[in-house]
Amino acid sequence: MEYMYAAMLLHSAGKEITESAMENIVGAAGIKPDNIRIKALVAALAEVDIDEALKTPVVTAAAAPVAAPAAQEEEEEEQKEEEKEEEEEDLQGLSALFG
């Protein structure tokens, strides 16, 4: 995450996102730079128009967890109903044994 922040800092400052600039920023934050991660990020960002990416709306997954509890409750109710039916079947079987 810190590498993305460093890249965003460089971009907002109007500087070119280079490996050495990234190393300097990450190092200044007191983090030992990982040259492999920096190299990969710089290569990946070379093909990205950051201004356009920032304008694109971000899709959040916030709606999914809201719907999940309702579905989970329904599933739990179905399981309880199934257990109740099984219990009733078991009781019916016992009554047949004892007449």
Burial class (CB in 10 A: 0-12, 13-18, 19+), 87: exposed
Are residues 51 and 69 located together in one domain of the fold?
no
**Domain count for the chain:** 2
Distance CA 60, CA 41 (A): 23
pTM: 0.54
Q: Are residues 63 and 31 in the same domain?
A: no
Q: Does one domain contain both 41 and 78?
A: no
Same domain, yes or no: 82 and 49: no
Is the domain of 25 the same as that of 65? no
Which domain covers residue 13, as residue numbers? Answer: 2-55
pLDDT tens digits along 23-62: 999 999 999 999 999 999 899 888 888 888 888 887 766 5
35 shares a domain with 11: yes
Under DSSP, the state recorded for 62 is S
Rounded to whole angstroms, the Cα distance separating 94 from 10 reads 76
